[in-house]
Chains A and B, each alone.
Chain A
Amino acid sequence: MFVARRMKKTIVTVPPSASLLEAQGRMRGYNIRQVPVVSEDGTLLGIVSDRDIRAAVLPAGLVPGFTAEEAEKFMKSTPVERVMTRKVITATLNDTLEDAIVLLHDFRVNALPVVDAAGKIAGIITRTDVLEAFIEALGVGEVSSRLEVVVPDRPGTLAQLAAIIGSFHVNITSVLTTRHVEEGKRANFFRVATLNIGPIRKAIEEGGFEILDPTRLTFP
């Protein structure tokens, strides 16, 4: 899946000459935490976050006698280009969602402006968009039951499990497979669209697989 499918295409931006006050107003108005700074032709110049603005105003606040009016004056007279981050971590239209997840994680940023080949802004993808993709992929909120099966780490086991579930004429709405704590084993998570999970659990166990019993989970 590509970033282009998940990014927001209507983007709130500010010009480099916009004041900190204007930028803050936009962020509050749209309930966002950062805005890309773009030139008139849409070229990405930087990004400014609510944190950047707070950090810029804070030192002035330490000056004795600095009042709220003065703070506002400072925010009105300071252009965002003076506080924006110029080395922006971006995604490109050809990046995949995996690329975006790794970038967001490794660079510890909240949002990636997405730029086209000419360096012009085409969209923005945030941690929230990525979480939304995960919620969908995990099938959270879809009417379903969950199964957690531990299998030996060898080819064909997922197909066997899917066949067992399929024999009950039940749809699988989500599949996730991860390494298990035990060496040589994998944990498979299924969401299946049925209330009647008992017979499926039983058939899977009779097929020689281990169903994780959620009652044996330990809570700290």
Chain B
Amino acid sequence: MRRLAWVYHPDYLLHSPPFEHPESPERLVAITEHLERAGLIPRMVPVTPDYPEDADVLSVHDREYLNKVEDACRRGDLTLDSEDTYLNRHSYNIALLSAGGAIAGAKAVAEGTVDRAFCAVRPPGHHAGRGVGMGFCLLNNTAIAARYLQSRHGVGKVLIVDWDVHHGNGTQNIFLEDPTVFFFSIHEHPTFLYPGTGRRWETGKGKGEGTTLNAPMAPGAGDAEYRATFEQMLEPAMERFRPEIVLISAGFDAHRDDPLADIQLTEEGFRFMTRHVNELADRFCGGKVVSILEGGYETLSLTSCIEIHVRELLGE
């Protein structure tokens, strides 16, 4: 058994769409209810996040961009640039609190109060770049947590595993030239799915050449293909890079029942990925894993996969 932080804030429900939209508060309601029913909430260490320090958010995002989102929310804008990324009056604050959730999980693991963390946050973050929000994402929670670990806890090397079905273009761009953060993304092939990046030859730039690794998967790929890719790509990468902590951008939209993509993972695929990352973290970085929620839009598969994810993180 491992001590697992459960990072959640009831205010995460306040960021709600002004029109029909798959990234809705109901996702988190369903997740918490399901974990409650499964008896898993009391087995985790509750962590209530706080708003992050300015400096931690500014380590990833431009001031002008933060002002832009804040102003748009204050004005009552319904969207940021396109209808993908909606806003309401709370959105800017809740985006900050979402980043605060990733930070809180990272902090608990870095300080050793827990072994691993699961951060049930929203809005998601991995499409958000330094100065741009898109694809349902406002602030890049995972990137902010990585920078926080480096600046506040003396962590040198961070490895991010992004298994959301969409390529984590925001995270990739933020760390493209950074050799201290390894970004591994497995996603549906960009010819078929948003955002259209994450091709296999995107491997970093300048000093960061070699610390970005993309695994584009053909539509229809399932558990077996994912398993082989993790074993052939992530494992050797981790062995070479030797991270001090692993962050997971944990999307659950690669499940076969998710309506937004064409990857055919089952619950077993998510069990394998979680277990595999746990094992690699045990081998290379003292078992430190912080999982941060990204996408996943079909309630039944979302909740059942998260239950499995949490059970694996607990080390049942």
Give chain A's interface residues, CB within 8 Å of chain B: 139-146, 168-171, 191, 193-199, 213-217, 219
Decide: A197 and B218 in contact? CB cutoff 8 A.
no
Decide: B22 and A198 in contact? CB cutoff 8 A.
yes
Which residues in A have their C-beta under 8 angstroms from that of B22?
A: 196, 198
B192: contacting residue among A141, A146, A168, CB under 8 A: A146
Decide: A198 and B262 in contact? CB cutoff 8 A.
no
Decide: A194 and B260 in contact? CB cutoff 8 A.
no
Please provide the 10 A-B residue pairs with the shortest distance between their CB atoms, ordered closest to farther.
A215-B220, A214-B219, A145-B194, A195-B194, A195-B135, A198-B259, A143-B195, A215-B219, A215-B262, A214-B192
With known contacts A143-B195, A214-B192, A169–B218 Cβ distance under 8 A: no
Q: How far is the CA of A169 from the CA of B86 in the complex (A)?
A: 13
Which residues in B have their C-beta under 8 angstroms from that of A216?
A: 220
Q: How far is the CA of A194 from the CA of B194 in the complex (A)?
A: 7
With known contacts A195-B260, A198-B259, A217-B219, A141–B84 Cβ distance under 8 A: no
Give chain B's interface residues, CB within 8 Å of chain A: 20-22, 82-84, 127, 134-136, 166, 169, 191-197, 218-220, 259-260, 262, 264
A64 → chain B closest CB, angstroms:
45
Q: How far is the CA of A216 from the CA of B218 in the complex (A)?
A: 10
Which residues in B have their C-beta under 8 angstroms from that of A198?
A: 22, 259-260
Can you list 10 A-B contacts (CB < 8 A)?
A140-B196, A144-B196, A145-B196, A194-B83, A195-B134, A195-B260, A213-B219, A214-B192, A214-B219, A219-B218
Decide: A169 and B83 in contact? CB cutoff 8 A.
yes
A195 → chain B closest CB, angstroms:
4
With known contacts A143-B169, A216-B220, A217-B218, A194–B196 Cβ distance under 8 A: no
Q: How far is the CA of A207 from the CA of B196 in the complex (A)?
A: 26
Chain B residue nearest to A148 in the complex (CB): B192
Q: How far is the CA of A114 from the CA of B22 in the complex (A)?
A: 52
Which residues in B have their C-beta under 8 angstroms from that of A145?
A: 193-194, 196
Q: How far is the CA of A11 from the CA of B285 in the complex (A)?
A: 54
Decide: B135 and A143 in contact? CB cutoff 8 A.
yes
Beyond known contacts A143-B134, A146-B191, A195-B84: 8 more, CB 8 A cutoff = A140-B196, A141-B197, A143-B135, A146-B193, A168-B83, A193-B82, A195-B260, A214-B262
Tally A-B pairs: CB < 8 A. 68
Which residues in A have their C-beta under 8 angstroms from that of B21?
A: 196
Q: How far is the CA of A176 from the CA of B82 in the complex (A)?
A: 23
B139 → chain A closest CB, angstroms:
17
Chain B residue nearest to A138 in the complex (CB): B191
Decide: B220 and A214 in contact? CB cutoff 8 A.
yes
Which residues in B have their C-beta under 8 angstroms from that of A215?
A: 219-220, 262, 264
Decide: A143 and B192 in contact? CB cutoff 8 A.
no
Which residues in A have their C-beta under 8 angstroms from that of B195?
A: 143-144, 195
A125 → chain B closest CB, angstroms:
25
B16 → chain A closest CB, angstroms:
16
A190 → chain B closest CB, angstroms:
12
Decide: A141 and B196 in contact? CB cutoff 8 A.
yes
B211 → chain A closest CB, angstroms:
21
A115 → chain B closest CB, angstroms:
36
Which residues in B have their C-beta under 8 angstroms from that of A168?
A: 83
Which residues in A have their C-beta under 8 angstroms from that of B83?
A: 168-170, 194, 196
Decide: B84 and A194 in contact? CB cutoff 8 A.
yes
Q: How far is the CA of A146 from the CA of B163 in the complex (A)?
A: 20
Which residues in A have their C-beta under 8 angstroms from that of B134?
A: 143, 195
Chain B residue nearest to A168 in the complex (CB): B83
B6 → chain A closest CB, angstroms:
28
Q: How far is the CA of A214 from the CA of B219 in the complex (A)?
A: 6
Which residues in B have their C-beta under 8 angstroms from that of A171?
A: 82
Q: How far is the CA of A198 from the CA of B165 in the complex (A)?
A: 14
Decide: A195 and B166 in contact? CB cutoff 8 A.
yes
Q: How far is the CA of A175 from the CA of B314 in the complex (A)?
A: 48
A174 → chain B closest CB, angstroms:
10
Q: How far is the CA of A217 from the CA of B189 in the complex (A)?
A: 13
Q: How far is the CA of A193 from the CA of B191 in the complex (A)?
A: 13
Q: How far is the CA of A197 from the CA of B192 in the complex (A)?
A: 11
A114 → chain B closest CB, angstroms:
31
A214 → chain B closest CB, angstroms:
4
Q: How far is the CA of A197 from the CA of B22 in the complex (A)?
A: 11
B257 → chain A closest CB, angstroms:
12
A172 → chain B closest CB, angstroms:
13
Which residues in B have their C-beta under 8 angstroms from that of A191?
A: 196
Q: How far is the CA of A199 from the CA of B84 in the complex (A)?
A: 12
Which residues in A have their C-beta under 8 angstroms from that of B20?
A: 199
Decide: B194 and A197 in contact? CB cutoff 8 A.
yes
Which residues in B have their C-beta under 8 angstroms from that of A144?
A: 194-196
Q: How far is the CA of A103 from the CA of B127 in the complex (A)?
A: 42
